[in-house]
Chains A and B, each alone.
Chain A
Amino acid sequence: MDLLLQTLVNGILIGGVYLIITLGFNLAFGVLGVIDFAVGEWVMLGGFTGYWLNHYLGLDPLLFLPVTFVVFVIVGALVYPMLARLLKGRQHARLLMVFVFTFGLSTLLKGGALTAWGFNQRAMDSFFSARSVELAGVYMPQIRLVAFFFGVLITVAVAWMLYRTRFGLSVRAVAQDEGKARLMGVNTNRVAALVYALYAGLTGMAGVLIGVIYTVTPQMGVQYTIFAFFIAVLAGLGYVPGVLLAALLLGLIQAFVAVYIGSAYSLLIVFLSLYLILLVAPRGILNRGRA
C-alpha cells in the first residue's frame, strides 16, 4: 500500500514538470501548426543555462529560472522568423519542411552542445536538493515538490493568460482559424511569434528544473522530445487542456513501470504507447486534438 502511494506521488510530482514543457509545446502547435523536433534541445540548453549560471555565480539554480525564461524567450523570438519564412513558403508540404527544419536545428544544437561540453553528466545542487519531507509514510524529495508546484503555478498562469486576457483570446482564435482571426484584426504573425517565444521560454525553464532534479548532459534532449510528443499526442495535438491529464499520465506510467515492471521497460512502454496512440487515436485520448 505504501509503495503504491509512493509510486503515485512520484508519478504526479514529475508530471508537473512535464506540464511546463508540453503546455507551451501544444500551444505552439495549435497556433503555428508546427511540431517542434527541437523541443528536447531547448530543455537541454535550458538545463545548461542554469548549470553554468550556477557554476559561475554560485547562486541557487532555481533563482535563475526567470533569467532562463527571458533568455529563451529571446531565443524563440530569433528562431521564429525562420519558421515563419518556411510557413509562408509556396512549396507544398510546408509543415513537413518545418518539421525537417526543426530536426536539423535539433541536430545542430545537440552537436554543438556535445562538441562544447562533451558527453559528461553534470549535476547542480539547489537548497532543496538533499532534503525531503515525509507525509503519511510517503517520502517526497523537496526539490520535486518545488518543481511540481512551479509546474502548477505555470499552468495556472498560462490558463489565466489564455482564458482571461485579450492576448489569450486572440491566441485561441488564431489556433482555431487563422484566416478568421486575421479578418478580426488580429496580428496573427505577432501572436504566433509571441506564442513560440513563450513556449521556448517555458521549455528552457523546465530544463533548469530537470537539471536540478537529475543532471544535465548534451544528450538528454531526445528523451524530452519524445516525452513532449507523447504528451501532446495523448492530449490531442493542439488541445491544451488535455495536456494536464496527459502529463500526469506520463509521470504515472513511468513511475509505475519503474516500480512494478522494471525501469528498463519504462522507455519501451512509453515509445510503444506513443506509437499505438498515434495509430488508434490520432486525435488524442480525449478526441479533441487535430489529426
Chain B
Amino acid sequence: MSDLQAKDLHTGYGRVEIVSGVSISAALGQVTCIFGPNGSGKSTLLKAVAGAQPTWRGDVVYRDTSIRDQPTEERILGGIATMPQGGSVFADLSVDENLRIGGHTIRDRTQLRQRVAEIYDRFPALAKKRRARGSDLSGGQQMLVSVGQLLMTDPQFLLLDEPSAGLAPSVVKEVFQMLRELKEAGKGILMVEQNVRDALQIADQIYILVQGKLVYHAPRADIPDLKTLMKVYMQV
C-alpha cells in the first residue's frame, strides 16, 4: 500500500536540524500532499527523499527496501523523479538539452532520443521550441519543460515541489489536470504545495509540516472541505 516512505527522518543544513523525525508514506496511484508554512522544511524533506540531501537519522524506504544511502542517480533508476521548487529548467540550455539532461540516467543514445520524441509528442507546444533557451520560455512553457524532464525517465513516483507556484491561474488548472491524469495512470505523486485549494481537489493523503515536525495527517476522505482543513491549519 505505501510504496515510498520516510521513517522518522531527520535532516538539516550545517549543524542546524530542519526536519526532525518526520514519517510519511505515499502510494502508487495516489497524490500525497504536504502543506505547511514557509520555511517549515517541506523542500528539505522532499530533497532528503529524492537523495539530494543526506538523511541524518531515520530511513527512506521504497518498495520495502531502504534507499537512504542510495545517490539520486540510483533512486531515479529505481523510478523516483523529482522536480525542485521553481522548476528544473536550466536557463542557458535549450529545450532539447533540458529534456536530455532530464534523461541523464538513460545511457543508451537511441533510447534517449526516443524518449525526447515521446515527450514532444505528448507536449506539441514544446516541439516547436526545441532550440529555444530555457530563459526565453514563458512560465507555462517552463513548467511544461519541467514536467517533460520529470517524465523523461518514465518514473513510478513523482516528487514535486510547489508545481503551481508563480503560474497564471489557467496554467495552474492545466498543471493539476496533468497531475490528475498521471495519478489515474497509476503514478504515485508526493507533492509539496502552497495552493491548498487546488491541491485538495486531487489529493488522497494530507500531511501538514510545521517547523520540521509533522503536526497533522489525514486521508482526504476524512476532510469534508477546505474550510475544515483551514481550521486545522490555523490551529497548529
Contact = CB atoms under 8 A, between A and B. Distances in A.
Interface of A: 90, 166, 169-170, 172-173, 176-177, 179-187
B88 A183 contact: yes
A182 B72 CA distance: 7
Given A182-B72, A186-B73, 18 more contacts: A90-B14, A169-B93, A169-B101, A169-B104, A170-B101, A172-B90, A172-B92, A172-B97, A176-B92, A181-B101, A184-B76, A184-B102, A184-B149, A185-B73, A185-B77, A186-B101, A186-B104, A187-B71
Given A90-B14, A173-B93, A180-B90, A185 B84 contact: no
Contacts of B231: none
Interface in B64-99: 71-73, 76-77, 82-84, 88, 90-93, 97
Contacts of A179: 52, 84
Nearest to A288: B92
B150 to A, nearest CB: 10
A255 B77 CA distance: 54
Contacts of A173: 90, 93, 101, 104
A166 B104 contact: yes
Contacts of B92: 172, 176
A169 B50 contact: no
B105 interface: yes
Nearest to B46: A183
Contacts of B50: 183
A184 B71 CA distance: 11
B72 A185 contact: yes
Contacts of A170: 101, 104
Nearest to A180: B88
B115 interface: no
B10 interface: no
Contacts, number: 61
Contacts of A187: 71, 73
Nearest to B149: A184
A176 B73 CA distance: 19
Contacts of A182: 52, 72
B97 A169 contact: yes
Interface of B: 14-15, 47, 50, 52, 71-73, 76-77, 82-84, 88, 90-93, 97, 100-102, 104-105, 107, 149, 153
B14 A184 contact: no
Nearest to B89: A180
Contact of B90 (A90, A166, A177, A185): A177
A262 B93 CA distance: 45
Contacts of A90: 14-15
Nearest to B102: A184
A169 B103 CA distance: 11
A176 B105 contact: no
A181 B92 CA distance: 13
A183 B84 contact: yes
Contacts of B83: 183
10 contacts: A170-B101, A170-B104, A176-B90, A180-B84, A180-B88, A181-B101, A183-B52, A184-B76, A184-B105, A185-B72
Nearest to A182: B52
Contacts of A176: 90-93
Nearest to B90: A176
Which one of B52, B83, B101, B105 has the highest number of Cβ atoms from chain A below 10 Å of its Cβ? B101
A64 B97 CA distance: 37
A211 B187 CA distance: 61
B104 A184 contact: yes
Which one of B93, B97, B104, B105 has the highest number of Cβ atoms from chain A below 10 Å of its Cβ? B104
A6 to B, nearest CB: 39
A181 B50 CA distance: 13
Given A169-B100, A170-B101, A176-B93, A184 B52 contact: no
**Among all A-B residue pairs, the 9 with the closest Cβ atoms:** A185-B73, A185-B76, A185-B105, A183-B82, A173-B101, A184-B104, A90-B14, A176-B90, A185-B104
A177 B82 CA distance: 15
